[in-house]
Amino acid sequence: MAKSNLLKVQKYMSRYTGIFKISTPVAVFQPLMKDTLESCRFNVIYETGDYLMAREIPGNAAFHQLVTVEVLVDKTVVTDCEIHMSIVVKNEELPLHLDNHCHQVFGQITQAIADANHWHLIEAVAG
């Protein structure tokens, strides 16, 4: 009896991460982060006290290239005026080129976080 070969399909996507330490009051962080994401053409679609998820507004990229960003605050090291957060920027695009749409948007968001006037960037690590 012949064995059938099963093809495993794996979903690949572009994915870029960053870790940031910023100085801002914890009470105002989430609205400020929402404003920062909205300035990069994102709509916040889900939020909790320590998590935000936003989707890129359609119009500048093909559907499979639209980016999702997740922001997670590390509550184990948060103080009254210092926040440690990580971001994950991802989409369905195959990362065939280094300068793909997801990477460009990651750079835009990273720059917006670094340049924001409403907090002070202490440290940033992109991975």
Spell out the domain ranges in the chain. Answer: 14-126
pLDDT at 9: 45
pLDDT at 79: 85
pLDDT at 1: 46
pLDDT at 29: 93
Q: How far apart are CA 48 and CA 53, in angstroms?
A: 9
pLDDT at 10: 45
DSSP 16-41: EEEEEEEES-HHHHHHHHHHHHHHTT
| Tens place of pLDDT per residue across the chain (127 aa) | 444 444 444 455 889 999 999 999 988 999 999 999 999 999 999 999 899 999 999 988 888 899 999 999 998 888 888 999 999 999 988 877 778 999 999 999 999 999 999 999 999 998 6
Fold of the 14-126 domain:
Alpha-D-Glucose-1,6-Bisphosphate; Chain A, domain 4 (3.30.530)
3-class SS of residue 47:
strand
Rounded to the nearest 10 degrees, the angle between the axes of helix 101-115 and helix 26-39 is: 140
pLDDT at 88: 96
Only one residue has tokens 């500048």, namely 60
3-class SS of residue 114:
helix
pLDDT at 7: 47
Q: How far apart are CA 110 and CA 53, in angstroms?
A: 16
